[in-house]
Amino acid sequence: KIIGTRGSQHYLWVEQLLKGIELPLPEGVSFFDKDGKQRFEVRVRWWLSMEFSSFAEVALLDWQIAAQLEHITTPVFSRYEDEKLLFIGHYWMTGHPERLSPYVACLDFSIGKAKINDSKLGAYRYHNEKQLNNNHFSFVVFEGEN
């Protein structure tokens, strides 16, 4: 019940754990997501270094939408600066599984909605390396329903 109370600290922690960091867009700025819902916050690439600071660089958005935010600087937000390897999912990535940074990798490429062609579930073969190696990724592909 505590976690289900929208706005509670526990609720916010669970939201961030599941979705990652979301930043509010500046007043008057919004976009429509893939389902047609208007959004006033955007998920960000929290694994990028501090040198990336515009919404266009850090937003997890289609490039056409992100390009419209190029001139807008993000507020300061937490970044992953640890040197421990971290594997994440639930990010609707596209393309092939590869490292997002030397220490962060996403293994879920839309596999949760397996009706999408080319959705992938990734795996990583760990060999005691200190940084992720793109050659250690493999994946299975869902090729759609016939």
Range of the domain at 33: 9-67
Answering whether pTM is above 0.75, one says: yes
Give 50-88 pLDDT, tens digit per residue. Answer: 787 788 888 888 777 788 888 888 888 888 888 999 998
Q: Which of 92, 70, 63, 61 is nearest to 26 (CA)?
A: 70
Q: Is residue 72 part of a domain?
A: no
| pLDDT confidence band for 90 (50 / 70 / 90) | confident
Give 100-130 pLDDT, tens digit per residue. Answer: 999 999 887 766 665 556 677 888 999 999 9
Q: Is residue 1 part of a domain?
A: no
One domain for residues 93 and 49: no
Euclidean distance between the first and the last CA atom of the chain, given in angstroms as a whole number: 42
Distance between CA 4 and CA 18 in Å, rounded?
A: 14
One domain for residues 45 and 95: no
CA distances from 35 to 20, 26, 60 (A): 19, 22, 15
pLDDT over 90, % of the chain: 21
Q: CA angle at residue 100 from 65 to 116, to 5 degrees?
A: 60
Q: Is residue 77 part of a domain?
A: no
Q: Which of 52, 69, 55, 66 is nearest to 22 (CA)?
A: 55
DSSP secondary structure code for residue 141 in this structure: E
